[in-house]
Copies of this chain bind each other. A is one copy, B any other.
Amino acid sequence: MAAPRRRRVDTSGWPTKELILLEASRLFAVRGYLGTSTRDIAAAVGIQQPSMYSHFSSKQAIAEELLRRDLTAGNAALERVAADGGGAPVELYRYLHWEVAHDLATPFDLRSLYLGPLLDQSEFAEGRRLLKRYDALMRSIVERGVAAGDFVEIDPQFAKRLIDGVILEAIRTGALDNRVDDDEPDLTASFVLRALLAKPSRVPSVRTAARTLGAPS
């Protein structure tokens, strides 16, 4: 609970539209989507409130754009990992590593979009559609791992929920400065694999295999 400072980003030269997305994501994270007014966002960017409507047709459109960009990138990474193959443990490790690294590196703060009830609202159907794609891809990996005997015998849907919990925790605290000095993406992926692998002693070899393949860029 020590002084949660935020990362700093050099925004010089960013177009106004990008600044709106950045500041909106941060205000959404701290005050929530509904707790953030379009006047708050405009003030953070340094423009007047109606000027935002030259870039976005509504406040909702800002949140949609943030969701679209993030979920598209995540799904693309997950698809590349699955296409590269290597077996469910390696694929899961590689995706978790990418996801946590992504959460730590992105200037946007997407907490409230995934943690709050925002995605449950009918207006955000596109985000839900992209999230379903993620669900299917992730469940496929877990199912293959269980079927192949790589993972412990566990309901794949249940395992996926626990994995989601760990990922959301990374999103939840990724923007804060209270992180450990070590390799957080590796620590997180290893934590999940220790819990899932039928033989936890395989974690080092999975890590090595994943590292050989590199990031799903």
Q: Which residues of A contact B (CB under 8 A)?
A: 1, 29-35, 111-112, 115-118, 120-121, 132, 135, 152, 154-155, 157-159, 161-162, 164-170, 172-173, 178-180, 182, 184, 187-188, 191-192, 194-196, 200
Determine the residue in chain B with the shortest Cβ distance to A164.
B169
Partner of A182, one of B111, B155, B167: B155
Copy total for this chain: 2
Contacts of A168 in B (CB 8 A): 165, 168-169, 172
Residue of B nearest to A193 (CB): B195
Closest to A111 in B: B117
Expressed in whole angstroms, the minimum distance between the Cβ of A27 and any Cβ of chain B is 10
7 CB < 8 A contacts A-B: A1-B132, A30-B117, A34-B34, A154-B187, A162-B166, A165-B168, A194-B196
Bound complex: CA of A117 vs CA of B111, how far in Å?
9
Per DSSP, are chain A's interface residues mostly helix, strand or loop, or mixed?
A: helix
Known: A29-B117, A164-B169, A168-B168. 14 other contacts (CB 8 A): A1-B132, A1-B135, A30-B117, A31-B117, A32-B33, A32-B34, A32-B117, A115-B115, A154-B191, A155-B187, A158-B180, A162-B169, A165-B165, A194-B195
Residues in chain B near residue A32, CB distance under 8 A = 32-34, 116-118
Please, how many angstroms separate the alpha-carbon atoms of A157 and B192 in the complex? 16
* Nearest Cβ on chain B to A12's Cβ, whole angstroms: 29
Query: How many angstroms between the C-alpha atoms of A157 and B169 in the bound complex?
Result: 13
By a CB distance below 8 angstroms, the chain B residues around A173 are 161
Residues of chain B within 8 A of A159, CB atoms compared: 191
Q: Given the complex, which residues of B lie within 8 Å of A194, measured CB to CB?
A: 152, 194-196, 200
- Distance between A217 CB and nearest chain B CB, rounded to angstroms: 26
| Distance in angstroms between the alpha carbons of A182 and B152 in the assembled complex | 15
Bound CA–CA A154/B184 (angstroms): 11
CA distance A32 to B178 in the complex (A): 27
> Which residue of B34, B121, B165, B184 contacts A166 across the interface (Cβ within 8 Å)?
B165
Question: What CA separation (Å) do A116 and B32 show in the bound complex?
Answer: 7
Give chain B nearest CB distance to A5 CB in angstroms.
14
